[in-house]
Amino acid sequence: MSEKYNEIPIAGNIIEPGNSKKYKTGGWRAERPIHSDEKCLWIKNGTCGRCWIFCPDMAVILTEKDGKYAYAYNYDYCKGCGICAKECPTDSIHMEKE
């Protein structure tokens, strides 16, 4: 915001790919998704994953380690849209007021 004209690349070029991750959109939320492992198919056997597929903000984190599956939200970016909750086939996600 304070760089001089000759301290930024020419022509408006942004040379650091994906640097928007420096901009945390989590502050936009009015509600946040809460996930429960109990009936979740990803936790169960690494299938489904609809929440991850459809999240517009890449804020669902699905991981696998040594055959165990883990689920987390990246609340830095989650905008609380509720798509994950709506698309979950096992009702494992509900939205709560921020």
One residue of 43, 55, 71, 73 binding other proteins per CB under 8 A: 55
As measured in angstroms, the least distance from the Cβ of 38 to other proteins is: 19
Candidate residues 34, 58, 70, 72; the one interacting with other proteins per rule CB under 8 A:
58
Confirm or reject binding of residue 43 to other proteins (CB under 8 A).
no
Query: How many residues form the binding site for other proteins (CB under 8 A)?
Result: 51
- Of the residues 35, 48, 71, 92, which one makes contact with other proteins according to CB under 8 A: 48
Distance CA 86, CA 92 (A): 10
